[in-house]
Amino acid sequence: MKNDLFSSIINVKGIGPKIKKKLEEKNILNKADLLLNLPSGSIDRRFCPKLDQLEIGKISTIFVIPIKYSFPRIRNLPSRVTCKDEYSKIDLVFFNSRENYIKQMLPLNEEVVISGKVSLYKSKYQITNPDYIRTTDKGTNIQKVMSRYSSISGISDKTLQKIFSDEANNIEELDDWHDKSFLEKMKWLSWSQSIKRIHNPIETDDVNKNSLYYERLAYDEIFSNLLIFNEIKKRIEKIKKIPKQISKLEIDGITKKIPFNLTNDQKNCLDDIIKDMKSERKMMRVLQGDVGSGKTIIALMASYLNCKSNYQTAIMVPTEILATQHYKNFKNILDKTNINIELLTGKTKLKNQKIIREKLKNNKIDILIGTHSLFQDKIEFSKLGLIVIDEQHKFGVKQRINLSLKGTNNTDVILMTATPIPRTLVLTNYGDMNISTIKKKPFSNNNLTTLIKPIQKLDEVIAFVNQRMDNEDQIYWVCPLIDESEKLKLMAAIKRFELLKKKINHNIGLIHGSTKKEDKEEVMQDFIDGKIRGIISTTVIEVGIDNPNANTIIIENAERFGLAQLHQLRGRVGRSGNEANCILLYSSAISETGKKRLKIMKDSNDGFYISEEDLKLRGYGDIIGYQQSGEKNFIIADPIYHSHLFELAKNNLDLLEQNNKSKYEILLKIFKKDRILNIIDTG
């Protein structure tokens, strides 16, 4: 009964409404979910010593006869049951157990099997709150390896263990979706057998990430992930669009307007993009490049060429400040062309929003730059030919699919991301996209120095800042990061600003979460124009802001930022190739990992290296922003540990015949990938 896998867990032996509710809180809804909740470890109960061979600290299964009870009448003192075998004695110690229960479980003079960790108390052996007590006629089968699960509050570990191992033992054999020969080659068992074995291990290693059973299940998850991306890609490739008309003349024209020469990497990326635009397939391309690698100009050129072939462009960025900056930058470079550029953010006045919407519909706007507000339902483009999404890492896969459906068949999509993506994650997160990479930055950052200082040295740092400013440098100062309410955050930022204003000899400005848009822009503009020498801010400067004359950044509470974020922040300076400085201030609350992170920052300025290290430190988690977008990570596979399985899955998928996919239906359903296809199908 294959479909049984997808029936509610209420049908599982041992699960009533109460336990069902607890499991559902952990996203365990059907039997498949239950079975895929793999053990977090195992307990070895195979050690069966006689009582004269006990070893302290070892989990032991012993066959003994209870001979004496002791139930102290004083509160908090544990009950004891003295037991013996033919060689010696041991005490079983019970906290919080009722007398009746103990007497019932351990009747005097009848042999029982006990399992638990042996300890020594007042030079006598004892087992405290044993995990297992059975009469010997029922209990012989506890001398084995048992699976152990992450605790779920409200369900006892013993109950949990029993539910899982019983259910795994009960599943029926499925027709396997992988070829027999492949399974044989890998020495893998069938899906059901692997599930059975991992919930009912024979060896302690069976539950480990590298066991044959675990790897088989991890591979399934990986394969289903790649399969679905492949499917999305195929469906997108089937879409026919009208190729964009892009002439050499236009390309030369826009190249001349750029105030510098493109680097080779930039040229190659632009070529990829132009080729895609001219083809009859919809472009779905990631443009990845470290902070400061010069992605914006590529977006600008692509937008220009798109407009020249009579289509509109939408550019979406995560913050208003960034939208404004791009807007000004585009206006500036495309000044003497007849291209109409507009800015639309959540804060654009309603009246103006209406005008913009009207113009957009009538094809009077060529390039619209803005935040999320670009993709509200009421916004209609007349001929949307290109969507560019900057700093894409804040979006998840589903959001991305939704977005690409917003346009028409003729809409090309570019995602620009500054989070360098390790190869495994490219496979898992962008399997549906093509990738272009700017590897080398226009300026090398050999002149960047990173220092790590305790916050106690604040005065020294302020002196340094004064000295830099005297030398015409501009600085970013990132305020302490606090978990508190917006109001307290605000106060922290203002307090820091007041202090710095007193101690810094040049003009400085403040930007924080509640600064009004106009004020923010004014401060930013003053900063870019050099009227103020320093910006004190909360992390709003994180993404994208570009002021080539600012070459020093101070980051307070640096230990509380993730590596990717620190790298982004630091990427604000050293953009002109000038000498640049980054000072990471830490507080006494710094953790061991925090220290490691800061050291990585000090040692390297290579975004790819940093993100690989980040991955190692954190493990696979929210590195690509899955967490922010609320999408679920892999539940079994570990993209770092199992990277070999990713390669294997990729190769096998490439070999797979087109019409051979139906056999994976159950696999996709088990991992809930079928839902993603539904989004595409229903739009």
Per rule CB under 5 A, count of chain residues that contact Mg ion: 1
State in angstroms the smallest separation of the CB of 548 from ligand ADP. 5
Residue closer to Mg ion by CB (options 296, 348) is 296
State in angstroms the smallest separation of the CB of 336 from ligand ADP. 19
State in angstroms the smallest separation of the CB of 510 from ligand ADP. 23
- Contacted by 262, from ligand ADP, Mg ion, none: CB < 5 to 8 Å by type: ligand ADP
At 435 the three-state DSSP class reads: strand
State in angstroms the smallest separation of the CB of 679 from Mg ion. 29
| The one segment of 198-206, 311-319, 540-548, 652-660 that binds Mg ion by CB under 5 A | 540-548
Residue closer to Mg ion by CB (options 474, 568) is 568
State in angstroms the smallest separation of the CB of 6 from ligand ADP. 45
227, HSE (Cβ side, Cα atoms, 13 Å): 27
Residue closer to ligand ADP by CB (options 480, 577) is 577
Q: Which element (helix H / strand E) includes 104?
A: helix 99-105
Tokens standing for 204? 């302690």
Tokens standing for 563? 């590596």
Residue closer to ligand ADP by CB (options 544, 625) is 544
State in angstroms the smallest separation of the CB of 616 from ligand ADP. 24
504-537 in b/e form (b: 16+ CB < 10 A) is beeebbbbbeebeeeebbebbeebbeeebbbbbb
State in angstroms the smallest separation of the CB of 416 from Mg ion. 7
Residue closer to ligand ADP by CB (options 526, 546) is 546
- Contacted by 150, from ligand ADP, Mg ion, none: CB < 5 to 8 Å by type: none
CA 394 and chain centroid, separation: 10
State in angstroms the smallest separation of the CB of 341 from ligand ADP. 17
Residue closer to ligand ADP by CB (options 54, 448) is 448
Residue 67 phi, psi (nearest 5): -125, -20
The reply to whether 442 sits near Mg ion by the rule CB under 5 A is no
- The number of residues making up the chain comes to 683
Residue closer to ligand ADP by CB (options 264, 471) is 264
State in angstroms the smallest separation of the CB of 420 from ligand ADP. 11
Residue closer to ligand ADP by CB (options 60, 419) is 419
Q: Which of 139, 201, 407, 544 binds Mg ion (CB under 5 A)?
A: 544
Tokens standing for 499? 């202090």
State in angstroms the smallest separation of the CB of 628 from Mg ion. 18
Alpha helices in 505-591 (DSSP H): 517-528, 563-570
Instruction: Give 3-state DSSP helix, strand, coil % of the chain, rounded to 5.
Output: 45, 20, 35
Residue 118 phi, psi (nearest 5): -85, 135
Distance CA 502, CA 492 (A): 16
Q: How would you write 633-657 as a 3-class SS string?
A: CCCCCCCCCCHHHHHHHHHHHHHCC
Distance CA 329, CA 567 (A): 23
- Contacted by 130, from Mg ion, ligand ADP, none: CB < 5 to 8 Å by type: none
Closest residue to bound Mg ion by CB? 544
Distance CA 210, CA 60 (A): 26
The reply to whether 625 sits near Mg ion by the rule CB under 5 A is no
Residue closer to Mg ion by CB (options 370, 544) is 544
93-110 in b/e form (b: 16+ CB < 10 A) is bbeeeeeeebeebbeeee
**Residue 133 near residue 112, CB atoms below 8 Å:** yes
Binding site for ligand ADP (CB under 6 A): 260-263, 266, 289, 291-297, 418, 442, 544, 546, 548, 575
| The one segment of 246-254, 539-547, 551-559, 650-658 that binds Mg ion by CB under 5 A | 539-547
Residue closer to Mg ion by CB (options 66, 544) is 544
State in angstroms the smallest separation of the CB of 291 from Mg ion. 7
Name all contacts of 652-661 with Cβ < 8 Å and 24+ positions apart: 652/182, 652/223, 653/223, 653/226, 653/227, 653/230, 661/227, 661/231
**Residue 444 near residue 577, CB atoms below 8 Å:** yes
Closest residue to bound ligand ADP by CB? 294
Residue closer to Mg ion by CB (options 290, 412) is 290
Residue closer to ligand ADP by CB (options 418, 541) is 418
State in angstroms the smallest separation of the CB of 295 from Mg ion. 5
Residue closer to Mg ion by CB (options 544, 639) is 544
| The one segment of 9-17, 222-230, 449-457, 537-545 that binds Mg ion by CB under 5 A | 537-545
Distance CA 324, CA 317 (A): 10
DSSP 31-78: HHHHHHS--SEEEE------TTS--TT-EEEEEEEEEEEE--SSTTPP
Residue with tokens 């619209």: 368
| The one segment of 3-11, 243-251, 520-528, 536-544 that binds Mg ion by CB under 5 A | 536-544
State in angstroms the smallest separation of the CB of 626 from ligand ADP. 22
Nearest to 357 by CA among 392, 391, 314: 314
- Contacted by 570, from Mg ion, ligand ADP, none: CB < 5 to 8 Å by type: none
Which spans of this chain sit near Mg ion (rule: CB under 5 A)?
A: 544
